[in-house]
Amino acid sequence: MLKKYSHIIVVGIDGAGAFIKDADTPHFDRIFSNGAVTYTALASNPTISAECWGSMLLGVGPEVHGLTNAIVSSQPYPTDSPFPSLFRRIREKMPDAELGSYCDWNPITAGIVEENIGVSHDTARDDELTPVICSYIREKKPVFLFVQMDSVDGAGHRNGYGTPAHLKRIGEVDGLVNDIYTAAGEAGILDETLFIVIADHGGTNPGTGSGSHGGWTDGEKLVTFAAAGKTVNRISVEEMNIRDLAAIVLYALGIDVPSFDEVGWTSQIPAGIFFDPDIPAYRDISHLTGAAPRISQIPHTSELI
């Protein structure tokens, strides 16, 4: 498969859901003004961090990868798993590629990314980690960089999702996203970079001064996805699941996307993001995940900060 990009940067904003559309995000709006954007990408069920980030980085659903917050916080991801992470898939095809995982919530790096495959990494709070990330981009020019920011989710837990305090923090993180985007320009790689922002889940606002997630209301399950790059169409993406991030990354790097398998790999390339008549038609997978129908249900469970 022909490589479309030499670099991919993914910025994951934990707990942002679809609320980015309601926040003051001038940098996001500018970066993706000619890109592919949706605020109705479907999170994994349940809408909890490990289940959702695991789906994105592994290309399979929680019913397949089996990861939970407790698991990723206590044990490394097996190097012999039949469902390798994006990092391992890229490493096997590109042995010398610079790969990075920089996450505020470190269980992503420790529990979803395999050990000892040469992935650069660091962890700190968002505001402290972003300058480190920017220096890393300028110095190393990574082929694949995954960033996770956690402070928006913390604001949702403390104040309720979609509240002024939650939206304010999204606006502040918008500045951090711009710092990372600017660093790619300063590194001279922006023209060959696929730049993505994605949320893992949203949350609730019960009006009690705090929020939660884990259930299947619209506020929890509908999330933001945005992509910008030289081959990205300017569209509103009609249907996608967050696990589709895996297929998008592999395709953009010219690595064969695994065959669709209802009991395994279910990551796909959503229709219209790239103009390529050879991309398979998008399949509805809601019947596989317990995620059907795409309407609100009573929220259940929640995740502690």
The answer to whether the CB of 213 falls within 8 A of the CB of 203 is yes
Residue 110 amino acid letter: A
CA atoms within 13 A on the CB side of 56: 28
By the 10 Å C-beta count (0-12 exposed, 13-18 middle, 19+ buried), 208 is classed as exposed
Residue 258 amino acid letter: P
DSSP run (H or E) holding 287 = helix 286-289
pTM for this prediction: 0.95
Q: What is the pLDDT of residues 217-252, one digit of tens each?
A: 999 999 999 999 999 999 999 999 999 999 999 999
> What pLDDT is stored for residue 288 in this prediction?
75
Q: What structural domains does the chain harbor?
A: 7-289 (3.40.720.10)
What are the residues whose beta carbons fall under 8 Å from the beta carbon of 70, sequence distance 6 or more? Answer: none
Residue 295 has pLDDT above 60, yes or no: no
Residue 73 has pLDDT above 50, yes or no: yes
Q: What is the pLDDT of residues 164-178, one digit of tens each?
A: 999 999 999 999 999
Structure tokens that stand for 218 in this block: 């619209």
What are the residues whose beta carbons fall under 8 Å from the beta carbon of 228, sequence distance 6 or more? Answer: 31, 32, 34, 35, 36, 194, 195, 196
Residue 289 has pLDDT above 90, yes or no: no
SS3 214: coil
Structure tokens that stand for 156 in this block: 């949702």
Sign, CA torsion 158/163/236/293: positive
